[in-house]
């Protein structure tokens, strides 16, 4: 005796209730054609995840309620198929100062055109990028429902994401008669998270001696990416199947009920490298941010350096060369090899490429300020003027032609303030803001060795990777004139910023006190810059975004 469960690993759009419903109906149609008894959709699949303060608007919740009822009617066509749909529900009492919440992160079980059960998420995450306690109240019920017919009936216990990381919700479902756990999810990607989920869900299955299916969202939403990677685990924690990552998929799991506990089986996507996950997350994040916000394309400043080279390669893999434009803006300090390498990379990838000298504007600025600056030596002021001229030119092209400007600053630079407000920080989407400089070099070499989207092998000229990095804002400049070596800086950054290690711990670990003092001081001083930076793709468990909420005005030093 067997039964089929389908997982709709969907790329959904926040607020597009009609479009998301269409995707759910299409998945139901395919599942029904395969003879499936159950279709699982991701957490909050009806409205998209996360809708943030839209959840606070009564009109939004009312529209979700209406869409759910309409969807139930549409799904009545698929006789014998049960569909689980995630959605918000409820209301609250609000004043300008107080909110009494009666709103829930819910999932409803749809059968035969009816809503036969609704489960309310019990465990609400409120850490990292999660703010669910801002919007929802915790549920306190259990949802166990039957799917299948005749001798092939399974009692399914429904959980939502965080519920499965705690013992009580699964234990209560089993006590209510569940023979299998179904977990619907919208859990943002960071490096290693997918395999961590498999491990934790395996432990949950083993603890309850119940098989478990895990349905996950895919797609980009502002700064977060969801990687898919749905899966099934057996009651002994062995892997029953794994869906592909970073793509939509209708993933089919077969439940063998010949003996108890039931056995799950499905196709198994191969294990992936960290670099492959990072690359696909970056590509999906760029593609969805641009497409879902209806930008016609992207443009960026291509300097001949490693950061802009990597962003160009990501943009082309995400959008295709026809939607990407690169602009080289040389100054008096631009080395010949910089524009030669920029030209060569643009040629390799087939993007539109232009060169616009900033020398006339730079000289005009210096002339305008000559009286004010009389007797003062050139310093970072003149360097920042160059960066701001470039930012102005790129934004002018964006305004005129509609393409979004992709900024090219990395996490190491964002941490230490090695970037210019209204200059290289000017733009609409910060693609690599959560990649350290060390990771930038590693990914550049990975992309040169792989061509995952068929856009061309070895897109980045080798000299871009091997030459010492430089902002080229003054003669003979290198990054290490102002910063510790990147391997040192990035190690301090990971331990201090991402993992909250103390200054004393870092020094005890062997880092030079001067390096630790410099990096940590720069992180604190440059909070005001980061607050004004464009949104960018989250790749680690702690990025400079919703994960990092430090005060700008702050005199505390550990």
Q: Catalogue the active-site residues.
A: 43, 121, 161
Close Cβ partners of 343 (under 8 Å, ≥ 6 residues apart):
328, 353
Sign of CA dihedral 221, 222, 224, 225: positive
Q: H/E element holding 340?
A: helix 336-349
Distance CA 138, CA 180 (A): 23
Write down the residue that tokens 């465990």 correspond to: 123
CA-based nearest residue to 297, from 354, 351, 246, 357:
351
Contact 243, 7 (CB under 8 A): yes
Chain mean position to CA 211: 29
**CA-based Rg of the chain, rounded to a whole angstrom?**
26
End-to-end CA distance of the chain: 62
Distance CA 247, CA 227 (A): 8
Distance CA 359, CA 331 (A): 6
> Dihedral through CA 136, CA 140, CA 141, CA 143, nearest 10?
50
Contact 317, 453 (CB under 8 A): yes
Instruction: Please give the backbone phi and psi of residue 531, each rounded to the nearest 5 degrees, phi first.
Output: -65, -20
How would DSSP label each residue in 111-139? ETTEEEEEEE------STT--HHHH-PPP
In the β-sheet with 231-233, what is the strand arrangement from edge to edge? 144-149, 152-160, 180-185, 212-216, 231-233, 239-242
- Mapped onto helix, strand or coil, the DSSP state of residue 482 is coil
Distance CA 490, CA 417 (A): 14
Work out the number of other CB atoms within 10 angstroms of the CB of residue 525: 12
How would DSSP label each residue in 251-319? EEEEEE-SSSS-EEE--BPPP--HHHHHHHHHHHHHHHHHHHTT---EEEE--SSHHHHHHHHHHHHHH
Write down the residue that tokens 């190690």 correspond to: 491
């Amino acid at each position: 005796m067997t039964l089929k469960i389908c997982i709709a690993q969907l790329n959904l759009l926040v607020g597009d209730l009609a479009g998301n419903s269409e995707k759910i109906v299409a998945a139901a149609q395919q599942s029904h054609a395969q003879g499936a008894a159950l279709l699982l959709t991701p957490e909050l699949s009806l409205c998209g995840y996360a809708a943030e303060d839209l959840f606070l608007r009564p009109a939004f919740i009312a529209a979700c309620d209406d869409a759910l009822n309409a969807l139930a009617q549409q799904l009545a066509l698929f006789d014998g198929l049960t569909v689980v749909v995630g959605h918000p529900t409820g209301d609250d009492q609000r004043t300008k100062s107080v909110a009494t919440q009666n709103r829930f992160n819910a999932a409803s079980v749809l059968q035969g055109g009816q809503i036969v059960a609704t489960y309310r998420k019990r465990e609400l995450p409120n850490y990292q990028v999660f703010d669910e306690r801002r919007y929802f109240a915790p549920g306190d019920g259990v949802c166990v429902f039957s799917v299948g017919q005749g001798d092939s009936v399974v009692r399914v216990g429904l959980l939502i994401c965080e519920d499965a990381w705690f013992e009580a919700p699964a234990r209560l479902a089993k006590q209510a008669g569940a023979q299998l756990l179904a977990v619907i999810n919208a859990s943002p990607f960071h490096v290693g998270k997918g395999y961590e989920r498999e491990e934790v869900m395996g432990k949950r299955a083993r603890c309850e001696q119940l098989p478990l299916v895990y349905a996950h969202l895919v797609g980009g939403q502002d700064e977060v990416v969801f990687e898919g990677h749905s899966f099934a685990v057996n009651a002994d924690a062995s892997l029953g199947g794994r869906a592909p990552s970073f793509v939509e998929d209708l993933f089919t799991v077969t439940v063998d009920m010949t003996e108890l506990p039931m056995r799950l089986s499905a196709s198994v996507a191969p294990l992936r490298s960290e670099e492959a996950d990072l690359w696909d997350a970056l590509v999906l994040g760029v593609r969805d941010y641009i497409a879902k916000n209806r930008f016609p394309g992207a443009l960026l400043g291509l300097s001949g350096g490693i950061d802009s080279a990597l962003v160009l390669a990501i943009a082309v893999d995400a959008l295709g060369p026809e939607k990407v434009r690169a602009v080289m803006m040389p100054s008096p300090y631009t080395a010949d090899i910089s524009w030669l390498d920029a030209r060569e990379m643009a040629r390799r990838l087939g993007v539109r490429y232009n060169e616009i000298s900033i020398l006339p504007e730079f000289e005009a600025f210096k002339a305008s300020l000559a009286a004010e600056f009389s007797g003062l030596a050139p310093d970072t002021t003149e360097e920042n003027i160059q960066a701001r001229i470039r930012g102005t030119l790129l934004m002018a092209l964006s305004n005129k032609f509609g393409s979004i400007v992709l900024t090219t600053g990395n996490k190491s630079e964002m941490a230490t303030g090695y970037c210019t407000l209204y200059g290289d920080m000017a733009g609409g989407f910060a693609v690599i803001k959560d990649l350290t400089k060390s990771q930038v070099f590693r990914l550049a070499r990975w992309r040169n060795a792989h061509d995952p989207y068929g856009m061309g092998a070895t897109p980045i000229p080798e000299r871009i990777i091997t030459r010492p990095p430089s902002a080229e804002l003054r003669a003979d400049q290198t990054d290490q004139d102002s910063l510790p070596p990147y391997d040192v800086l990035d190690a301090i950054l990971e331990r201090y910023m991402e993992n909250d290690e103390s200054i004393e711990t870092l020094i005890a670990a062997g880092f030079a006190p001067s390096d630790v003092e410099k990096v940590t001081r720069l992180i604190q001083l440059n909070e005001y810059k980061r607050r004004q930076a464009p949104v960018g793709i989250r790749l680690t468990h702690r990025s400079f975004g919703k994960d990092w909420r430090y005060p700008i005005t702050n005199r505390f030093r550990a």
